[in-house]
Amino acid sequence: MLRFIVRRLLLLVPILLGLSILVFGWIRALPGSPAQTLLGERATPQLILQVRHQYGLDKPLPIQYWDYLKTVSSGNLGTSITTYRPVTYELQHRFPATVELALGAMIFAIGVGIPLGFFAAKKYGSFFDQSSLVGSLIGISIPIFFLGLILKYIFAVRLHWLPSIGREDILATRAHPTNFYVLDAIIGLDPGGLWDAIRHLILPSIALGSIPLAIVTRITRASVLDVQHEDYVRTARAKGLPPNEVDRRHVLRNALLPISTIIGLQTGLLLSGAVLTEKVFAWPGVGSWLTSAIASRDYPVLQGGILFVAIVFVLVNLVVDISYAIINPRIRLS
């Protein structure tokens, strides 16, 4: 197991190196320039040359890339050319928001999707099974921004049950040392702050978790249908084991392998930033931050932010691979 983890971590280096080359070339192929964006209407040829020299944009591309690698290797992801803040500072304040939103969405998707898919498979062909298939198809098909607007209109505008934007009440003055609002409220023994953070998290989590919920439900249903007809399941039932024990030890545990893969991939995607959900609910996460950086041609933010997101995605997939051996001891990672 240790050798497998070390080998995967070593493979992370060439993967990120290749990704950094692609990102470096892609953002410099975008139309316009950061100098023109910064100067706006004041842009003149002389000022543009001055700004390009200030940020090293007048150097040859190989030298620019080498300078970027040296900066990143020292732990510095650069400084935003629009806000003049370090990229690491922005990540410290925005990535926790994305993590909370992604975890909330996956808790909703897993907590509802796995039981729903399991019971749909156990009731194969019934009205419940057909309804779960139709519901999952709707969940995959409906656009996230449209679902988010519907949820806001029903639960925020009409019923006034839940807030529609932000991470906490606009009048709140609570301190957030970790920038994880739920965790800060738990550590600070602040039930009011905890409830406020959860209330703001419910609607965006449901909107963002709708597609993972549909996918997890369908994968769970298909996986359980495949496993429950295996020989070892029939043998366990023939031995007279209680049905609940057969389902728990033999059916569900073996069905979790493909489910864990989907959960890991969906979690990695959500941690990369849910742009539409963050826009609809004014959620200050990584997705909306990178979208704004694209519009302003903020090269350091794009390079550092995308590289950070790629590292997170690869590490999440590493955790998924390791979970295979934990879920099913018959699997040995060589």
Domain residue ranges of the chain, discontinuous segments joined by +:
31-75, 88-327
Neighbours of 254 (CB within 10 A): 20
pLDDT (0 to 100) of residue 283:
87
What does the buried/exposed string (b/e) look like for 86-105 if buried means 16 or more CB atoms within 10 Å of the residue's CB? bbeebbeebbbbbbbbbbbb
Q: What is the pLDDT of residue 39?
A: 67
pLDDT at 238: 80
Q: What is the 3-state secondary structure (H, E, C) of 146-186?
A: HHHHHHHHHHHHHCCCCCCCCCCCCCCCCCCCCCCHHHHHH
What per-residue confidence (pLDDT) applies to 164? 85
SS3 69: helix
Sign of CA dihedral 37, 42, 44, 46: negative
Neighbours of 153 (CB within 10 A): 12
**Cβ atoms of 93 and 83 closer than 8 Å:** no
Q: Return the CATH number of the domain spanning residue range 88-327.
A: 1.10.3720.10
pLDDT in tens, the chain (334 residues): 677 777 777 877 888 788 888 877 777 776 666 666 666 666 777 777 877 777 777 778 788 888 878 878 777 887 887 788 888 888 888 889 988 999 999 999 999 988 898 888 888 888 888 888 888 888 888 888 888 899 999 998 898 898 888 888 888 788 888 889 888 889 888 898 899 999 999 999 999 888 889 989 988 888 888 888 777 777 877 877 787 777 777 787 778 778 887 888 788 778 765 788 888 888 888 888 888 887 777 778 888 888 888 888 878 877 777 776 666 666 555 5
Q: Are 228 and 251 in contact (CB under 8 A)?
A: yes
The reported pLDDT for the residue numbered 166 is 84
**HSE (CB half, 13 Å, CA atoms) of 95?**
17
CA distances from 318 to 1, 4, 125, 315 (A): 12, 10, 37, 5
